[in-house]
Structure formats: C-alpha cells, structure tokens
Structure 1
Amino acid sequence: MHQPVLAPSILAADFAQLGQQARAAVKAGAEWLHIDVMDGHFVPNISFGPVAVRALRSLADETGALLDVHLMITAPERYLEAFAEAGA
C-alpha cells in the first residue's frame, strides 16, 4: 500500500518570509511543497508567477523537496514554457 503524500501549500506563508517558511516546512518533514498559481480568474486571488517558482525551485534543489505546482490560471498553455523553465 502506498503512503499518502502530504504537500503543504505555501499560499498561507508570509510572502515577505516565503523562503524561510518554505524551508521550515521541509525541515519539519514536508517532502513536497504545493504552489497554487492563481491569476484571479477562477478564484479572487493572484499569487505566484514563474519568478517565485524559480526561487522555490532553488530551495527545493537544495533541500531535496519536490514541487507540486498547481496552475489555476486562464489559458495555462500560454505559460507552460515559462513555468517549466522556472522548474515547475
């Protein structure tokens, strides 16, 4: 039987301390980090773009964590290359 995977969302993090809080989640045992990318279309929030994902990719590479990037955006195909290049 497979073990469940817990991927804490970093959306609740203090964006001014995003790196520190993501690192704390990994240090506490998170093997995955969930990144909700929102553009205000499906939900009334705007969150992360490729630049933030690239910064979190560096942290993930350093710590061994995996990124689970959820594109809740209109026309995601327009942004696939940018997010893929950022390490999503």
Structure 2
Amino acid sequence: MTIDDDVATLLEKEIRRTGQPLKQTVNQLLRSGLQQAAAPVKPRPFRVKPKKVGLPPEWTSGSVAELIEMLEGPSHR
C-alpha cells in the first residue's frame, strides 16, 4: 500500500500525539474511518420558517389577482 505524503504527515503527527506504535495507530484510524463511513448520514430535517406577510385586511375575496392589484396597483401587468 502506498500512502500519500499528506496522509503520512498526518499519521506521523497522530503517532507523536498518542505515543502508540504505527500498526496500532493505523488500525485505530482505519476502524474509526470505516465505521464513520458505514454509518448512515442523518439528513437535517427540512423546516419552513413562517413569516407574517401582512395581507391587507380589505382583501377578503381570496382572489390572488385582486391581491396583486391591491399590492402593486392596477398597472402591474
């Protein structure tokens, strides 16, 4: 197996940090990485943040066209 230079540098740092032998460090890191890769990723729940839109109180018909005309004026087209 060939290890890239950047990975070898990180591995050497981890060996110095933990004081463990190369074999034990590599096995521990591989186990941890493989377990993490096998774990299902929980997606963040989709949330909608409601906002008050402040509809005009005189809009009572439910007509979207009427609402647009009220908000943008008669020349909105």
TM over 0.5: no
Highest CA radius of gyration, 1 or 2? 2
TM-score tier, shorter chain, comes to under 0.3
Comparing both structures, which one devotes a greater share of its residues to strand? Answer: 1
TM-score (norm 1): 0.19
TM-score (norm 2): 0.20
Q: Quick one: higher RCO (CA 8 Å, sep 6+), 1 or 2? A: 1
Comparing both structures, which one devotes a greater share of its residues to helix? Answer: 2
